[in-house]
Structure 1
């Protein structure tokens, strides 16, 4: 029998394929062993004092009734929930990263988790009694809507990492604002959802996990059936089409499966953050040593098992460090979010490019006459907002009442109301001006039109510093001011230092800032949940941005910082204009680029910190106001920054007044109102620049 010349090559190829399969199978087996070891450690922990030996006796058919009750009523339900959630999020992350062709895509960065959480919270807030399967469908609908919106805004599959993460972050902020509003307005109906909202494995019994596991198994099996298509899909649209892969149905099927897995995880254990990002990344890193993991038939189960290891490992480490009793109050999602933030920073550090791209938002040239007219109109609007803020509230006052108060002759009820409202109005407008100024500086210096102090981790660091002081019992004005300032400066220094890699890349700066902000948020939640439960609602409201209970002493730091910052920025207007162009022009004209950039960004950090001491954590102002100012008066620093400051003051002032009156006597924090007002603008901005 003769042998053709191609037979040796075929034999070698088949041998290589078998070798890769064995390598992939061995990697999955080792991961399963690691999961079994972590699961055993996880089972041995708990608050009951039942040890591993007693549990082993139960598993072998013996043991006491107490040990049996602990195992089946507490330990196994928590373990099953951790495995189910980890597998679901790990597989969902692989699907999203492949279909978006983006290593930073995940249920968190696509806003899926936030959308699912909002849907579940809304059901609880409005008292709608639904079975578990219906809650899963609602979570699925919310997550699917979020994923569709984010991919549409970012420009579809294959969009840049920065645009995808920014679109997801913006939508997540909007959904979180809506969720926070529901948590504040319906405190009784949503009791317990705050801790659950950070991801908790606590279960009453095995029922929920047993209902979720079959759904997850079916979705994972369906994903495995798509594995060959996904392998070809990841090569690019043109090649996939030429090889006969139906792009549309593959993308739709994969996204539906990913959202179904994410929604099931949210329904079971709440939004456990960043597992869907970390698990696929670790599986991809393992592919350097096990090439078989490049194939989705192996990567999908490997990422699922790694996700389960991450969730159970984070839960076990948390209980080992804090103790089982203390760890009860800290959601597992806090630990996974912190780990995910680190992974995001590491990935962003790997981005190439030492110089930033020019800003892609174009601002038409405007005349000086237009600038002065615009500034005059906005100043008049600011005066109107101040008057509105003083008169509006639980009890509507008249301008005559305000005049009497200014003269010191107002009746006691009116004087009491205005004494309470005046510092609130002043805090809102000064904090708005500081945030807008900080946002304008950040956008110009980083040359990223989508950056603001919140996205760069500055406000997150300030909020963390302030919460550390409040929960530590040092909640005085001086303590909060100092802590918020130190927190923002440390966060800024960390983000700036990690972003520097032979130059400052705008994409790298924003992505690392988002990672830093997520880490600060996780730590803030950690300290918040470990604080005195009686203080939790007040602290949570403060973190949502509020002027409630403000005094003139808390307003004074913002006034001082603004009084110093405005002249400094206007004096450096030439340098800001030059740095906003590119890297080479300022150097050619004698500007000390890095020194000037560092000083201006530090000034933005101080401005953001000062605003936090006055109104808490408020987002979107540093993004909205500078953009609107450029559209009105052009991009010259001497014109758009003062205009942005006045616009920011008007925006936060209006948000504060509306939040105090729209559902009076209850109140919505100004930060939530700004997020609800600002999110649509950011959506429009991303839509407008999606083809850039």
Structure 2
């Protein structure tokens, strides 16, 4: 393997994708500290935004009270607004944004496709079909379970179709995912056409476009645990993801079991995406745009890219959801509309500038 194909980092001895331009980048601890600081500030500030007039200090004191610290309590009304309404929604948005950004970065690496996103294998359409099926029969309490089951069913169908001739490759998986996605989308449309009546149309449409309006502490738990558990595993697999940048042959030469690693990570991404879709609906562009935008700051090495992308995704979706719930108050936009309105121009700029051979 020539020096032009591989770059070995001196500090870890690991193999990393080639960087472009030799630009000196900020150390990872600095990026993480800055990202965490921005995320904490974002959470505190966005919880104050809304019809009720709150201060950052009140938000901090409400949180401190509930975690057992001895502080001056806020009024019961403001405490309920913070703890029961706004904070669960903001934290759910942060967890979903982090999860989608992580999933997008992993999918783009595994498929070596810069246009890959977390929904590439039909997960979003499968989750939508499961969710709509319970919404139209009025059992909304089962929505997270049904959405997660739909995403997993779509993954199984995609992998089964991709392996139909005995060979499982990234290209076949993507094509199979597109087919399963179209089938699930057709099923969703049929269920809506055949059974939805009255106000159920509005509820279904809101979910299909992505919404965090119904977020609770249960939503925080589902999304947060998925991000912490699955996210930790994929971040630890960063060096293996770096090897995929050189192709399957090069990755195998570096001692990686290519098939097992790829499909194990794809399954983890499916689990992560299913959990995110289950609590938020289908939110686009976060997993597609954020890894590219963050990559310009961190470089291509996944041990740097993945944690910073997760923090950036969390901050981005919290602000996008804040815009969705406040810009047209008292009416509320689905957050998927806001992410698309922001994501499309940003992606167009990234596409115009290009980022090396990955875009060509």
Distance 1:434 1:682 in 2: 19
User: Which residue of 623, 643, 655 maps to 2:288?
Assistant: 623
Q: 1:370 to 1:407 in 2, by over 3 A?
A: closer
Decide whether the 8 Å contact of 1:389 with 1:425 is kept in 2: yes
Decide whether the 8 Å contact of 2:92 with 2:224 is kept in 1: no
1:480 matched residue in structure 2: 143
User: Structure 2: which 5+ residue stretches go unaligned?
Assistant: 1-16, 66-72
The secondary structure found in structure 1 opposite 2:140 is: coil
Q: 1:577 to 1:403 in 2, by over 3 A?
A: closer
1:575 matched residue in structure 2: 240
Structure 1 residue 451 displacement after superposition:
0.3
Decide whether the 8 Å contact of 1:393 with 1:661 is kept in 2: yes
Distance 1:688 1:455 in 2: 24
Distance 2:261 2:271 in 1: 15
Structure 1 residue 503 displacement after superposition:
5.0
| Greater Cα shift, 531-540 or 447-456 | 531-540
User: Which residue of 81, 100, 110 maps to 1:417?
Assistant: 81
The answer as to 2:336 corresponding to 1:679 is no
Q: 1:404 to 1:505 in 2, by over 3 A?
A: closer
Distance 2:174 2:79 in 1: 46
1:93 matched residue in structure 2: none
Q: 1:606 to 1:452 in 2, by over 3 A?
A: same
Decide whether the 8 Å contact of 2:152 with 2:271 is kept in 1: yes
Q: 1:522 to 1:627 in 2, by over 3 A?
A: same
Q: 1:590 to 1:363 in 2, by over 3 A?
A: same
Decide whether the 8 Å contact of 2:211 with 2:335 is kept in 1: yes
Structure 1 residue 414 displacement after superposition:
1.7
Decide whether the 8 Å contact of 1:392 with 1:660 is kept in 2: no
List aligned pairs for 1:121-160, cutoff 5 A.
Answer: none
2:273 matched residue in structure 1: 608
1:40 matched residue in structure 2: none
2:115 matched residue in structure 1: 450
Distance 2:288 2:255 in 1: 30
Residue deviations 1:423-458 (CA, integer Å, cap 9, x gap): 100110001111111111111111111100224322
Decide whether the 8 Å contact of 1:394 with 1:660 is kept in 2: no
User: Which residue of 75, 81, 96 maps to 1:431?
Assistant: 96
Q: 1:660 to 1:568 in 2, by over 3 A?
A: same
Decide whether the 8 Å contact of 1:546 with 1:615 is kept in 2: yes
Decide whether the 8 Å contact of 2:89 with 2:216 is kept in 1: yes
User: Which residue of 32, 41, 44 maps to 1:384?
Assistant: 41
The answer as to 2:197 corresponding to 1:540 is no
Distance 1:367 1:558 in 2: 35
Distance 1:383 1:443 in 2: 28
Distance 2:88 2:188 in 1: 27
The answer as to 2:33 corresponding to 1:395 is no
When the two structures are aligned, how many residues end up with a matched partner?
A: 330
**Greater helix fraction, Structure 1 or Structure 2:** 1
Distance 2:147 2:109 in 1: 24
Q: 1:532 to 1:555 in 2, by over 3 A?
A: farther
Decide whether the 8 Å contact of 1:456 with 1:513 is kept in 2: yes
TM-score relative to the length of structure 2: 0.83
Distance 1:663 1:639 in 2: 37
| Greater Cα shift, 379-388 or 494-503 | 494-503
2:158 matched residue in structure 1: 495
The answer as to 2:126 corresponding to 1:469 is no
Q: 1:379 to 1:544 in 2, by over 3 A?
A: same
Residue deviations 1:240-280 (CA, integer Å, cap 9, x gap): xxxxxxxxxxxxxxxxxxxxxxxxxxxxxxxxxxxxxxxxx
Distance 1:398 1:361 in 2: 47
TM-score relative to the length of structure 1: 0.45
List aligned pairs for 1:37-76, cutoff 5 A.
Answer: none
Distance 2:18 2:45 in 1: 33
Decide whether the 8 Å contact of 2:18 with 2:300 is kept in 1: no
Structure 1 residue 509 displacement after superposition:
4.2
Q: 1:467 to 1:605 in 2, by over 3 A?
A: same
Decide whether the 8 Å contact of 1:374 with 1:632 is kept in 2: no
Distance 2:46 2:124 in 1: 25
Residue deviations 1:404-429 (CA, integer Å, cap 9, x gap): 42355322332232221011001100
Distance 1:531 1:552 in 2: 29
Residue deviations 1:79-127 (CA, integer Å, cap 9, x gap): xxxxxxxxxxxxxxxxxxxxxxxxxxxxxxxxxxxxxxxxxxxxxxxxx
Residue deviations 1:14-34 (CA, integer Å, cap 9, x gap): xxxxxxxxxxxxxxxxxxxxx
1:118 matched residue in structure 2: none
User: Which residue of 233, 242, 253 maps to 1:588?
Assistant: 253
Decide whether the 8 Å contact of 1:446 with 1:580 is kept in 2: no
Residue deviations 1:31-72 (CA, integer Å, cap 9, x gap): xxxxxxxxxxxxxxxxxxxxxxxxxxxxxxxxxxxxxxxxxx
List aligned pairs for 1:203-242, cutoff 5 A.
Answer: none
User: Structure 1: which 5+ residue stretches go unaligned?
Assistant: 1-359
1:162 matched residue in structure 2: none
List aligned pairs for 1:630-641, cutoff 5 A.
Answer: 630-641=295-306
Distance 2:22 2:265 in 1: 24
Distance 1:363 1:647 in 2: 22
Decide whether the 8 Å contact of 2:286 with 2:313 is kept in 1: yes
Structure 1 residue 361 displacement after superposition:
11
The answer as to 2:326 corresponding to 1:669 is no
Decide whether the 8 Å contact of 1:629 with 1:641 is kept in 2: no
2:186 matched residue in structure 1: 522
Decide whether the 8 Å contact of 1:547 with 1:656 is kept in 2: yes
